[in-house]
A and B are shown apart, each in its own frame.
Chain A
């Protein structure tokens, strides 16, 4: 985890005040704070000059944005075609059982967010699970459990 968090103003200043920068700004705020709070959403709207409804529509349409705080660790189980054929679905279910959290959600202690992704492009190693920035290739329920225990 990063020690310091950038001020929202510093992020806003990266972009000119034009509507086309809405998505890039949302991405930067998401990356920095791991979610987009209502206050930040309003500040972004003011900066790029779009109505809150449009920003809301965009933030809920694209999957990489979260309007709720995310967990410390993000577990993304790949459900691309090859991963699906090789049992990716069983891995998500195992995570749901082990972490007691449904896919797309975050554990109450904000430790883990469990998500599924549609192909991370490492199909030759299916099934693949991404744990934060790392890949776990040819994953099985035991290997995934072992990995999660280490976190």
Chain B
């Protein structure tokens, strides 16, 4: 590829690519996002290629098969969309491909059975489906549309236009001002104003000349969140473009993308994108003839949750153990190799080109005051429609869970929503008042609290979420129903954090262990009411005394669950019962004799051989020998195994 030497040449290339495109050419987009991959999307894509080849369609209608990033509607995968016919097929299996090719590509017909249907309505186009209709895709605009491995595709979708504008029409000062005015806040969880962080680094670099570094944080460690993965895999150039603009604004010549090793596809797509940008001259020396030099490298995370923390990332990049250090000095003052360093989450970086393109005013109009723009959430758990959702900040939680998510299947309402991963909290469907002063959110919000009494009405923005004792965090949103136990979830997060604690500071290292012991006791139906208060005070000490965010926010799941679900704790401790039927020591498995058809599947699959019963006769479980592994429940074809 020829190096691009000016903004005009880049614009010319974009124009040329668009002109060469045939708008009538059929395009089949197969989603290869994480959800669809887990349902065999790679085989679907392969089937399209081989069917088209076998039928010699290539010459006749010339369909283009694009393997794209995440379409978002993961629970309906594998997703396939067809343009220009604007058809959207769900749950596509390799064996459906021939029919799609025959009917839709050759004859222009619709395969009705593969359309998404809900409540009796069938939807031909994705845009009509309630799940998509209520979203506003800005950051995810190209994810699922473009082929992430082709820079031409990204360029045709408008990639690198903001970059050219920033480098040739704006001064670094203009860019920092625009980002500040846009109100953009860190999407990784902290919610710190991005412009303010940049300003600090720029000021320090001016007083103390020398290298400045920028880092893209793709160590998406929060369980239940995968929006960063979707951006990196589906539109890697958006991250690169944001980072190059940031580098220009801050005078950085070197950048790092720190991506967790559990995301090999993201690493691959980003590496290819960097190579492509380099060969076009969008990275390297004298970019667009402006005299600005910048290059990027990828560093793979090595499997440490704490490395999502910015000082730990720096330690890791320097080749050390990922232990956080006390702030201040902040990385913006003294970061990588003691130089000013700006670390932003990859979703934050992907916001930058849009702000440069359309301006700060446009961006602030998108959200609510103090939480501007859109945010991507991963809506998962016990919800009907799960997947990735991008909405403007300030949309209510009820709208996300009930309208976009379609609520909990078979239940009138959800029990709770867990947000912000291990640093966040568990917020119930209903709460009577705001949390007391002793529950400090991780970071005190910037706007004044507004009283709300129902989770449904809770606006999803940084500050409203913080009021509940949880945080918005990276955007993980896990819907819980009546079969989920809050004691178990709190215990789960504590175990998670305890395993991931780097062990440097005492409150986190020993405090979390102490907290876990309380939760272990409760889950066995032991402990006393006083223990709950002890746990609360220990949790507060851990939060106050820990060095970094991992320990600092660790109390949130525990404190919110005690605050909102005290009755459930009491049921464990006093009545020795787990109302949700989860805590192993407090439940028994039973076969419902009325439902059981005596198929003996459970008898054959029980690892303890503790189920007895003859063919066509109801079976029984010997609870003394049962280890509550759930194998019988998994194999039972009629749902006769119940938990009590």
Question: Contact residues of A with B, CB < 8 Å?
Answer: 18-24, 26-27, 48, 50, 54, 57-58, 61-65, 79-85, 87, 90, 93-94, 97, 117-126, 128, 133, 135-138, 140-142
Task: Tell me, in angstroms, the Cα distance from A145 to B163 when the chains sit together.
Answer: 51
**A126 near B634: Cβ-Cβ < 8 Å:** no
**A27 near B634: Cβ-Cβ < 8 Å:** no
**B262 → chain A, closest Cβ, in Å?**
6
Task: Say yes or no: A23-B302 contact (C-beta < 8 A), given A122-B34, A125-B74.
Answer: yes
**A150 → chain B, closest Cβ, in Å?**
15
**A133 near B264: Cβ-Cβ < 8 Å:** yes
**B38 near A122: Cβ-Cβ < 8 Å:** yes
**B319 near A123: Cβ-Cβ < 8 Å:** no
Question: Quick check: is B367 within 8 A (CB to CB) of the other chain?
Answer: no
**B320 near A54: Cβ-Cβ < 8 Å:** yes
**B489 near A120: Cβ-Cβ < 8 Å:** no
Q: What are the residues of chain B within 8 A of A94 when measuring CB–CB?
A: 607, 629, 631
**B634 near A120: Cβ-Cβ < 8 Å:** no
Cβ-defined partner of A141 (8 Å) among B39, B261, B322, B631: B631
**A61 near B224: Cβ-Cβ < 8 Å:** no
Which residue of B is nearest A48, CB measured?
Answer: B319
Which residue of A is nearest B72, CB measured?
Answer: A124
**B634 near A140: Cβ-Cβ < 8 Å:** yes
Q: What are the residues of chain A within 8 A of B261 when measuring CB–CB?
A: 27, 64
Cβ-defined partner of A85 (8 Å) among B316, B484, B634: B484
Question: Quick check: is B106 within 8 A (CB to CB) of the other chain?
Answer: no
Which residue of A is nearest B478, CB measured?
Answer: A81
**A19 near B630: Cβ-Cβ < 8 Å:** no
Q: What are the residues of chain B within 8 A of A90 when measuring CB–CB?
A: 629-631, 634
Q: What are the residues of chain A within 8 A of B303 when measuring CB–CB?
A: 62-65
Which residue of B is nearest A144, CB measured?
Answer: B634
Cβ-defined partner of B302 (8 Å) among A27, A48, A83, A121: A27
**B224 near A123: Cβ-Cβ < 8 Å:** yes
Which residue of A is nearest B316, CB measured?
Answer: A23
Question: Contact residues of B with A, CB < 8 Å?
Answer: 34-35, 37-39, 74-75, 77, 220-226, 229, 261-264, 299-305, 316-322, 378, 380-382, 386-387, 418, 421, 476, 478, 480, 484, 489, 492-493, 496, 500, 502, 605, 607, 629-631, 634-635
Cβ-defined partner of B262 (8 Å) among A19, A61, A93, A121: A121
**B304 near A135: Cβ-Cβ < 8 Å:** no
Task: Say yes or no: A124-B75 contact (C-beta < 8 A), given A24-B299, A62-B302.
Answer: yes
Q: What are the residues of chain A within 8 A of B319 when measuring CB–CB?
A: 18-23, 48, 50, 58
Cβ-defined partner of B635 (8 Å) among A62, A65, A117, A141: A141
Task: Tell me, in angstroms, the Cα distance from A64 to B505 when the chains sit together.
Answer: 23
Given contacts A61-B502, A120-B262, A123-B381, 12 further A-B contacts (CB under 8 A): A20-B317, A21-B319, A65-B302, A81-B421, A82-B224, A90-B630, A119-B221, A122-B34, A125-B34, A133-B264, A138-B38, A140-B634
Task: Tell me, in angstroms, the Cα distance from A147 to B57 when the chains sit together.
Answer: 35
**A142 near B478: Cβ-Cβ < 8 Å:** no
**B34 near A135: Cβ-Cβ < 8 Å:** yes
Cβ-defined partner of A124 (8 Å) among B35, B605, B630: B35
Task: Tell me, in angstroms, the Cα distance from A69 to B240 when the chains sit together.
Answer: 37
Cβ-defined partner of A137 (8 Å) among B35, B500, B634: B35
Task: Tell me, in angstroms, the Cα distance from A26 to B222 when the chains sit together.
Answer: 25
**B322 near A61: Cβ-Cβ < 8 Å:** yes
Task: Say yes or no: A121-B263 contact (C-beta < 8 A), given A85-B489, A135-B37, A135-B38.
Answer: yes
* Sample (7) of A-B pairs whose CB atoms are under 8 Å apart: A20-B319, A62-B322, A84-B489, A121-B225, A124-B77, A138-B38, A141-B635
Which residue of A is nearest B386, CB measured?
Answer: A124
**A19 near B478: Cβ-Cβ < 8 Å:** no
Q: What are the residues of chain B within 8 A of A125 when measuring CB–CB?
A: 34-35, 38-39, 74, 77
Q: What are the residues of chain B within 8 A of A138 when measuring CB–CB?
A: 38
**A49 → chain B, closest Cβ, in Å?**
10
